[in-house]
Structure 1
């Protein structure tokens, strides 16, 4: 069994902030991917529905917690407080096999 942690996030911005929300998350992709515990950090969009999604893979829970503590991650989350139409949905899971 591995400690690898997978994260899936659904981000639903207010229509007037879709571009702001998208640009904010895209701006931290390279920094996030450079973090020692980051295995995967991919941003996806369903532009027709106005939703953004994240697929993340981290070495372990500690690496994910460290990512959430980074100033650039916190800055995105602070902006999302005003830009989102519904609360950010973030699920974590582990691989069974």
Structure 2
């Protein structure tokens, strides 16, 4: 087993805030990818339901925790209180082999 941590997020913005949420996430991609513990940070969207998805891969849980503490990450998360139609769904998984 490795320490690599995988994160999967499902973000469901209110229709009137979809562009705000998407643009906020896209604005932090470069900074996030430059973090020492970030292996992968990919933003995806479904074509018809209005969801935004994140696929993240981190060196370990400490790296993910550090990412969540960054001011740019916190700024996006703070806006979710007003922008989201349902709570953020974030799951982490560890690679077994």
TM-score over 0.5 for the alignment? Answer: yes
Deviation by residue 1:54-96 (Cα, 9 ceiling, x = unmatched): 0000000000000000000000000111000000000000011
**Does residue 93 of structure 2 align to residue 81 of structure 1?**
no
Match of 1:5 in 2: 5
Shift of 1:48: 1.0
Runs of at least 5 residues in structure 1 that lack an aligned partner in the other structure: none
Report matched runs for 1:2-81 at 5 Å: 2-81=2-81
When the two structures are superposed, what TM-score results if normalisation uses the length of structure 2?
0.98
Give the aligned CA root-mean-square deviation in angstroms.
0.5
Runs of at least 5 residues in structure 2 that lack an aligned partner in the other structure: none
When the two structures are superposed, what TM-score results if normalisation uses the length of structure 1?
0.98
